[in-house]
């Protein structure tokens, strides 16, 4: 049985090739993103394996189904890039990796928070230039601050626990309150309270019709002046233009983003010799109080190991017509 991988990077190849020794599938690695043109590259594969920026819309799904593909395996948690209705209509299974080391993403959000606050990236460069001055590096104590968490699933829960450990007051908003977190001291409150009271807000909900642009000019108007916004979830959660206005007028004092609305044209590539035509990301990168990382929050050894083993196990179980060991992995 053959599996075609799209958007393949060298580390995908290394991890999947090693874990596949248990399964013996034929693996085909394609660097291109999946779209209606590259779908033609699929030949005799029963499964395709895709990542966050592959475009798995109705047209692509129909092409894949016509080529005999039975399973679309997402090697990630989010699935906003897949038309699940079209997959169902074409009798394709869609699976994902629902929870792989949520700590990996939560800890990256913490890393962004501290980098923005204590300016370690600036200090690193400064000291290398033999500039030992502290001017401009003033930070704040995280201890005692109010941290708002939007979405308290696997990653949001890990982030809440990190923040409790730092002695923060943690406010959370989710469609379902989490009893374990409540018992640990997290207060579940309406979204407006999170927006109005938090010194730092971290987004951990999925991108869907309810959450698209959850940070927009109206919700920004409720924020504490000078607050910090961290987004390691999906770029579409924030209206980037409204956020740029808020950075210019000081309502948002710090912004850390590991995801960006138009990231599929930029992230996961070396564009160091390219003129980037996207003025919005260029503007964002020009602010001294903005930190952009290129969708690397998941990128730890432990997370890649779990992503790889869960993905191949799900493909194997679906091919054999078995129930999935992890039913939350099955979307369709």
Q: Is 182 annotated as catalytic?
A: no
Q: How far is the CB of 77 from ligand NAD (least distance, A)?
A: 4
User: Cα dist. 230→178, 218, 330 in Å?
Assistant: 21, 18, 29
The residue from 3, 56, 112, 150 that contacts ligand NAD (CB under 6 A) is: 150
Instruction: Exactly one of 93, 234, 264, 313 is catalytic; name it.
Output: 234
Q: Which stretch binds ligand NAD (CB under 6 A): 20-28, 146-154, 163-171, 240-248?
A: 146-154
Counting contacts by CB under 6 A, is residue 234 touching ligand NAD? Answer: yes
Instruction: Exactly one of 75, 96, 108, 295 is catalytic; name it.
Output: 295
Spatial neighbors of 217 by CB under 8 A, at least 6 apart, are: 239, 242, 245
Q: Strands, DSSP E only, in the chain?
A: 2-5, 26-29, 47-50, 71-74, 93-95, 146-150, 169-173, 187-188, 200-203, 227-231, 252-257, 290-292
Q: Which residue is nearest to ligand NAD (CB)?
A: 153
- Residue 96 carries which DSSP code? -
Distance separating alpha carbons of residues 76 and 297, to the nearest angstrom: 12
Spatial neighbors of 267 by CB under 8 A, at least 6 apart, are: 53, 260, 294, 295
The residue from 38, 154, 198, 240 that contacts ligand NAD (CB under 6 A) is: 154
Nearer to ligand NAD, 87 or 105 (CB): 105
Distance separating alpha carbons of residues 289 and 191, to the nearest angstrom: 25
Q: Is 234 annotated as catalytic?
A: yes
Distance separating alpha carbons of residues 251 and 244, to the nearest angstrom: 10
Counting contacts by CB under 6 A, is residue 16 touching ligand NAD? Answer: no
Counting contacts by CB under 6 A, is residue 151 touching ligand NAD? Answer: yes
Spatial neighbors of 32 by CB under 8 A, at least 6 apart, are: 6, 7, 38, 41
Counting contacts by CB under 6 A, is residue 148 touching ligand NAD? Answer: no
Q: Site map for ligand NAD, 104-123, x if CB under 6 A?
A: -x------------------
Nearer to ligand NAD, 67 or 153 (CB): 153
Nearer to ligand NAD, 38 or 152 (CB): 152
Q: How far is the CB of 138 from ligand NAD (least distance, A)?
A: 29
Which string of DSSP letters, residue by residue, matches 272-302? TTS----HHHHHHHH-TTEEE--S-TT-SHH
Counting contacts by CB under 6 A, is residue 261 touching ligand NAD? Answer: no
Matching residue, tokens 């950075």: 247
Q: How many residues bind ligand NAD (CB under 6 A)?
A: 30
Residues that bind ligand NAD in the complex, under the rule CB under 6 A: 77-78, 99, 102, 105, 150-156, 173-176, 204-207, 210-211, 232-234, 258-259, 295, 297-298
Q: Would you name the residues annotated as active-site residues? A: 234, 263, 295
């Amino acid at each position: 049985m053959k599996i075609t991988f799209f958007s393949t990077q060298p580390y995908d190849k290394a991890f999947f090739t090693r874990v596949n020794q248990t399964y013996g599938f034929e693996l085909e690695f394609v660097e291109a993103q999946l779209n209606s043109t590259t779908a033609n590259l699929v030949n005799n594969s029963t499964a395709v394996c895709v990542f966050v920026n592959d475009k798995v819309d109705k047209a692509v799904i129909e092409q894949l189904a016509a080529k005999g593909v039975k399973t679309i395996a997402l090697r990630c948690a989010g699935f906003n890039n897949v038309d699940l209705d079209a997959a169902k209509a074409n009798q394709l299974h869609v699976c994902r990796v629902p929870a792989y080391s949520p700590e990996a993403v939560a800890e990256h959000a913490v890393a962004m928070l501290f980098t923005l606050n204590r300016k370690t990236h600036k200090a690193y460069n400064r000291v290398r230039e033999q500039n030992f001055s502290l001017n401009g590096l003033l930070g704040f104590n995280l201890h005692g601050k109010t941290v708002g968490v939007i979405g308290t699933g696997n990653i949001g829960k890990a982030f809440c626990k990190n923040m409790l450990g730092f002695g923060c007051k943690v406010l959370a908003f989710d469609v379902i309150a989490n009893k374990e977190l409540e018992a640990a001291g997290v207060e579940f409150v309406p979204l407006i309270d999170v927006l109005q009271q938090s010194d730092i807000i971290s987004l951990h909900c999925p991108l869907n019709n309810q959450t698209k642009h959850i940070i927009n000019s109206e919700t920004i108007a409720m924020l504490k002046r000078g607050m910090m916004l961290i987004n390691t979830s999906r770029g579409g959660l924030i209206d980037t233009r409204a956020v740029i206005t808020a950075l210019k007028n000081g309502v948002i004092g710090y912004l850390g983003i590991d995801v960006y609305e138009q990231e599929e044209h930029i992230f996961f590539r070396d564009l160091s010799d390219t003129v980037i035509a996207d003025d919005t990301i260029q503007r964002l990168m020009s602010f001294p109080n903005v930190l952009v990382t290129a969708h690397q929050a998941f990128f730890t050894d432990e997370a890649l190991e779990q992503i790889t083993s869960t993905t191949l196990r799900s493909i194997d179980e679906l091919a054999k017509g078995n129930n999935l060991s992890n039913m939350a992995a099955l979307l369709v």
